[in-house]
Structure 1
Amino acid sequence: GYGMLLFLFLPCLCSGQAVPLLLRFSSFLDPSNMVYLRWDHDEQEMITFELRVRTPGWVAFGFSPHGELSGSDIVIGGVFPNGSIYFSDCHLVDEATLDEDESQDYQLLSLTQNETFTTMMFKRHLCTCDLNDLDITMDTARLITAFGTDDTVQFSKGQKFSKSLFLMKYRGSSDSTDPKIFFTYDLRLDNFAVPAEETKYACTFIPLPMVKQKHHIYKFEPVLTPHNTTLVHHILVYACGSDSVLPSGIDDCYGADPDFALCSQVLVGWAVGGESYQFPDETALSIGTPLDPQYVRLEIHYSNFDLLPGLIDSSGVRIYYTSELRKYDVGVLQTGIFTFPVHFIPPGAESYRSYGLCNTSQFDEVNGIPVPELHAFAYLLHTHLSGRGVRVAQYRSGEQLGIICEDKKYDFTLQEVRDLKKILTIKPGDEILVECSFQTLDRSGITFSGLSTMNEMCLAFLFYYPRNNISSCTSYPDILYIAHMLKQEASDTVEGMMAMDFIDWDNETIKSAEKAAKEANQVVVIKTINVTSTLSSDNKKGKIPFSIPLSENFPALRLDFLQNDMFCIQAERKGTRKDVKLALYPRI
């Protein structure tokens, strides 16, 4: 059992205070704010954590492949009543079997306890090369925390929490400059009665601040009604074109009245686990000029799984804006697959990849004046419940330049704006390819692209400067080609979509559909910010570039220095990675 586990006893000097490190990032890991994590990472691929738990007993922290205990890479520590400490790098074989790792790859920096808190500070390499340790990557991490009231480690009796978090952030709040004079403005619902339904999308249209001259929105953060924090699933704010005719009141976003789904250009977004976001110092969203939106659509997705009655909510987003203008206006470009039922995902798929193409060569024509280079600095990825991964690649003259951004462990419950490591230039004529990976093992019917949570989307929003008039550049495949490759009769788009229901889906037909959708001609649709004056290049065809994104973001071979004069070699062959630990000569 857990109590029998032998821990590594460390000399008492560890229990002294470590040199306080500036850890730029922090988050509570549980709904009651009992578990507080601070962390940071450095150029040496080392990540440091400080875990503070409101308990006098044992504490555990680690990483899980899918959010469950079994298979987790976990570190456990605490202070015995006599003042000696225990700390160990372990893994959970299953929910009832905890084993200590042969290779102890977490280094304890300090471990202290008082009547209220146990605080543990430790560090590890992003990649340890220990098969029992999970790599920390540019993907969403599933964090596991647990704790007990005494020093007998028993997961069955302790409190346990799982939370998705993106650890590889590049900018902390201390890295940003706040303007001297700023204003706040809340975009939120007013005492909305949340229905006793599992899922509700509530939408309303709100004016942006009325300013006489240009101002910049430089930061936004969620404003959640305190007792409803577990109820609000995600919040999106969409910009409305100046000539949109908008409805009043609050209604179902994707219900009977289609007007409540107007305005599709995302300005800001937040979801469970997300924090506030501040734009880099040189950039911000413009308001107050004739080109700027005057209204936004506020969309709040509620998950009332316990069907609680009588809930009233006034959640939303708080924006910070200033008259101290920054150098560049931010634009948001929506890329990926045009949301239209021509995009479908077969049922019973372990993994099904879909592709959306943006060809920027028509931007000048659609924009009306030449579009300057786009300098992308951040991104927001979006699929619905069956999405498992999203990757965005950049092509120039048919050659892949690299991956713009990706998340191979995408989690629908954590949709947030993330910074790119460095600013990326997209030149006129470049192609942007969005690849989404879906899993539909739990579905018996086809999942079509659409607005409901049970439909699917495959989108990547790129935040860039300087702003232009293009709001989206997406594509959808030629459904007739797909139908014919699957040996179905169809003479128009509607027949092509309907034909998908006649297919007997198995591994072979799923792979054939994926291949046909990738080979088909792509209809590229480019839209401008004013929805009604859309010029879409429906007659322009595109092809998915043949060199599909690399299977990993690793170079073919990578060397890492580890402790104890070991090297870690990561070799990649045919998309599989082999981690090899080699003892080489000590470094000089």
Structure 2
Amino acid sequence: MRLLSVLLLSAVLYCDAKLPRDKIHIQPNELPPNPTQHAAAMRLIQTEKKNERTSEIVNQYKRSKREVFDSKSYEASLIWAHSERLDEKGDVVLRWVNTDSSITFRMEARTRGYVGLGFNTARNMRGADLLVAWVDDRHNNAQILDCHGLTFEDRTVADEVQNYELISGYQNETHTTVEFRRLLDTCDRQDFVIGEDTTQVLWALGPPGSDGELPRHVHSGSRPLRFLQPLSKPDIPLQTWDVRINKLKIPHVMATLFWCKVFKAPDLPKKHHIVGYQPLIDSKPIRDGLAVAENTPSPVHHMVLYECAEDDKRQWNEWAEGDGFYGPNRPAELATCVTPIAAWAIGSKGEFLPENVGIPLGERGGVSYYMLEVHYDNQELHDVLDSSGIRVFYTPALRKHDGALFGTGIGISALHIIPPKQKAYRTVGICYPECTNSTMPDKGINIVSVLLHAHGTARKISLKHIRDNVELPRISEENAYDARYQQSRIVPGGRKFYKNDVLITECTYDSTSRDKPILGGYSASQEMCLSFVLYYPRTALAGCYSMSPVLEFFDTFGVKEFYGLVMMDVENIFLSSSNKDALPPEFEAHLKMAASSDETAKQGDDQGVGLMKSLVIKEPAEFRNKTFIAHINEMAWAEPLLTEQVERRLYDWHMSFCKRRDDTWGTPIQIHNYPNYTELPSNEASERVVCHYKSVRLPSMTTGAASHTCISWVVLAICILLLR
């Protein structure tokens, strides 16, 4: 009996040592209340304590003898859904696959030291969720350490709770490879919640032999990615059609260049469906008159492929055989190319449509000619030879629905303004029911994906959906927008959009680094706010936009009259996309003078910026003889009341535009108030996983887990005792 008691007590003590305990959570840089000490001194004390804790955890990991797995056998049973190079050279590759609750990673890096992976909303390690992994050189054991970056210092410290599960790890003569997994939401405030928004993925490589020592890295970087993306490429044979520019020389005198090229569709015996597209980026810098293959960033900023409503096929054939046109100088007939079928922007890998949707291709599908519009952002002013474009994937196996795209948001114009020095300034573009009611079927449409597009100062974009004066859940939104990564977003389950519904594209900008107002336009130094919506069934709709009414816009800034132009003339110019033909003859000299400046010439098609530089204020007297640009540059933007008033005024009034696929107006241009509706309550708290913020362990990937062993010992001891 004494022997059995000893055996039972030993089993209980063994389990007590092995089973994980809940730990008290300590927030990063959380200080105990002590008003007598300076905050900086307290942070220093806390940092020292965290460093001590880090050393303890690292030493514990070094002492442990964790089982080494055969990574190849594990990988054979797992299909990596996604793979991305985190650096330009491909020295750091990240692969992953996720379920509804967890995500598994494989990191392959060219180093024999540690590899670091981090997740953050910013492009730095402060406050980031960090993982450090290495393979012990002496014992060949893989180890991982769950860490975070301090908020006030560029230093890595270990988390109180280790929420990453090691799967495998090994190294060869050149690379270290580690596989691990975690919950999407670990319920640990020191860990990043992996969700639908773009994540800044940080990486770092340690020097050889840096096994868990956490020294300063020798190479590091960041890349924006979204982890929760569905697999959409169909596993069927596909035909391809490459639509690309042919060796266009981009001159160093143009910072912004738009190039338009017409293409004739493939000669197909019957209707086919486009099911996807991928970018073809082929840009070579010109050195000493020759194009050289260098690993330099391409100036291609975004590309859109449009359907064209042609009339004279002989003329369109000639354009298709030509090299293309500089955007502002393209033939007027190309204005009929208004229906987008593919929209690509920086960071995107393209898109494949859901398996029940295809876009008709070719003459049998109703379209013979297409136009590729390429925006080059050449701010470095280099000579570049470019042959970029889009690879279109299509199939004769028709899908159930004919799909299409339409654009919505803010019409691209200098009337779109973002004041400087603003942390979160909002602008909106609205698609009103008058447009969709005249172009959509009675049963409505089904929205399946959205590409949200803006430029470098945008931080949030959302596509809102209003029905019966009530806001529904967002069709698509990005709360951590990064212009370097503009991948289209699948709408889970699709979204039904009916007549009388309203779409609102809202963009939030951070202009704190800018000293002057930002105006809307094509240049990367200007801004946009757009949504490209993929839907079915196909309709006559090509675009549904709004922008500030001209008279209300200038009235917002206190301007009543200009020299040489009445307000009606100014309105006509903007309604004609800043077309110089709409100018009165006596005003052309003013515009030519403004357009002769180096900055304006380099920016190319400026959508009215040059016009605003030439508009000289006549009334009121306090602004007299100033150009409009000078006037808004001198405004007291640091005053919150001024900025709030401008934001509110420009929200109140909207001029709507509705374009059909044949380039006709779906409805007349109209002035509207901002819609009156009940806003959607903040869903951040309601959608959050309910957490108690303590250790949340994944089921062990190993055999012989400690908890199972403990239970077996207890059961065995109790059974023996009962038998006695």
**How high is the TM-score relative to the length of structure 2?**
0.70
Q: Could you say which residue in structure 2 is the equivalent of 1:281?
A: 355
Q: Quick one: distance in 1 between partners of 2:114 and 2:436?
A: 58
Q: Could you say which residue in structure 2 is the equivalent of 1:571?
A: none
* Equivalent of 1:338 in 403, 411, 416: 411
Is this contact kept in 2: 1:522–1:544, CA < 8 A? Answer: no
- The 5 Å alignment of 1:429-508 reads 429-478=500-549, 480-481=551-552, 489=560, 492=567, 494=570, 498=628, 503-506=635-638, 507-508=640-641
The residue identity in structure 2 corresponding to 1:108 is L
Is this contact kept in 1: 2:232–2:354, CA < 8 A? Answer: no
Give SS of 1:13's match: coil
1:152-200 CA distance string (max 9 Å, x none): 2566451112111111102254xx3424xx4211111222234346844
Give SS of 1:451's match: coil
1:211 and 2:260 matched: no
Change (3 A) 1:390 1:450: same
Q: Could you say which residue in structure 1 is the equivalent of 2:648?
A: 515
Q: Tell me the percent identity.
A: 25
Is this contact kept in 2: 1:204–1:251, CA < 8 A? Answer: yes
Change (3 A) 1:101 1:564: closer
Q: Quick one: distance in 2 between partners of 1:363 and 1:306?
A: 42
Q: Quick one: distance in 2 between partners of 1:69 and 1:562?
A: 22
Deviation (angstroms), 1:535: 3.4
1:269 and 2:336 matched: no
Change (3 A) 1:559 1:92: closer
Change (3 A) 1:241 1:257: closer
Q: Could you say which residue in structure 2 is the equivalent of 1:238?
A: 305
Q: Could you say which residue in structure 1 is the equivalent of 2:472?
A: 401
Give SS of 1:513's match: helix
1:75-107 CA distance string (max 9 Å, x none): 011112112333111122267422111222222
| Larger fraction in helix | 2
Deviation (angstroms), 1:297: 2.9
Is this contact kept in 2: 1:238–1:297, CA < 8 A? Answer: yes
Is this contact kept in 2: 1:357–1:524, CA < 8 A? Answer: yes
Q: List gaps (5 residues or longer) in structure 1.
A: 567-588
Is this contact kept in 2: 1:203–1:260, CA < 8 A? Answer: no
Give SS of 2:348's match: coil
Q: Could you say which residue in structure 2 is the equivalent of 1:121?
A: 179
The residue identity in structure 2 corresponding to 1:278 is F
Q: Quick one: distance in 1 between partners of 2:509 and 2:302?
A: 23
1:81 and 2:81 matched: no
- The 5 Å alignment of 1:176-195 reads 176-179=234-237, 182-195=238-251
Q: Could you say which residue in structure 1 is the equivalent of 2:191?
A: 133
The residue identity in structure 1 corresponding to 2:168 is S
Q: Quick one: distance in 2 between partners of 1:53 and 1:514?
A: 47
The residue identity in structure 2 corresponding to 1:222 is P
Change (3 A) 1:557 1:54: closer
* Equivalent of 2:387 in 299, 314, 338: 314
Q: Could you say which residue in structure 1 is the equivalent of 2:601?
A: none
Q: Could you say which residue in structure 2 is the equivalent of 1:37?
A: 94
Change (3 A) 1:565 1:308: closer
Q: Could you say which residue in structure 2 is the equivalent of 1:221?
A: 278
Change (3 A) 1:448 1:546: farther
Q: Quick one: distance in 1 between partners of 2:121 and 2:686?
A: 23
Give SS of 2:642's match: helix
Change (3 A) 1:273 1:362: closer
Give SS of 2:246's match: coil
Give SS of 2:122's match: coil
Is this contact kept in 1: 2:432–2:502, CA < 8 A? Answer: yes
Is this contact kept in 2: 1:235–1:317, CA < 8 A? Answer: no
Q: Quick one: distance in 2 between partners of 1:125 and 1:66?
A: 21
Give SS of 2:535's match: strand
Q: Could you say which residue in structure 2 is the equivalent of 1:569?
A: none
Q: Could you say which residue in structure 1 is the equivalent of 2:147?
A: 90
Q: Could you say which residue in structure 2 is the equivalent of 1:297?
A: 371
Q: Quick one: distance in 2 between partners of 1:144 and 1:92?
A: 11
Is this contact kept in 2: 1:205–1:295, CA < 8 A? Answer: no
Q: Quick one: distance in 2 between partners of 1:557 and 1:316?
A: 41
Q: Could you say which residue in structure 1 is the equivalent of 2:444?
A: 373
Give SS of 2:643's match: helix
Number of matched residues?
556
The residue identity in structure 2 corresponding to 1:384 is H
The residue identity in structure 1 corresponding to 2:661 is I
Is this contact kept in 1: 2:476–2:489, CA < 8 A? Answer: no
Q: Could you say which residue in structure 1 is the equivalent of 2:201?
A: 143
Q: List gaps (5 residues or longer) in structure 2.
A: 1-47, 283-292, 575-611, 613-627, 698-724
Q: Quick one: distance in 2 between partners of 1:450 and 1:305?
A: 15
The residue identity in structure 2 corresponding to 1:267 is I
Deviation (angstroms), 1:49: 1.2
1:282-305 CA distance string (max 9 Å, x none): 111111247744333323344556
Q: Could you say which residue in structure 1 is the equivalent of 2:657?
A: 525
Q: Could you say which residue in structure 2 is the equivalent of 1:360?
A: 433
Q: Quick one: distance in 1 between partners of 2:415 and 2:148?
A: 44
Change (3 A) 1:12 1:558: closer
Q: Could you say which residue in structure 2 is the equivalent of 1:535?
A: 666
Change (3 A) 1:384 1:103: same
* Equivalent of 2:227 in 159, 162, 167: 167
Q: Quick one: distance in 2 between partners of 1:227 and 1:297?
A: 29
Q: Quick one: distance in 1 between partners of 2:633 and 2:377?
A: 30
After superposition, the CA RMSD in angstroms is 3.3
Q: Quick one: distance in 1 between partners of 2:635 and 2:413?
A: 20
The residue identity in structure 2 corresponding to 1:241 is C
Give SS of 1:160's match: strand
The residue identity in structure 2 corresponding to 1:279 is L
The residue identity in structure 2 corresponding to 1:215 is H
Deviation (angstroms), 1:379: 0.8
Is this contact kept in 1: 2:258–2:373, CA < 8 A? Answer: yes
Give SS of 1:555's match: helix
The residue identity in structure 1 corresponding to 2:393 is Y
Deviation (angstroms), 1:202: 4.6
Give SS of 1:47's match: strand
Report which structure shows greater RCO (CA 8 Å, sep ≥6): 2
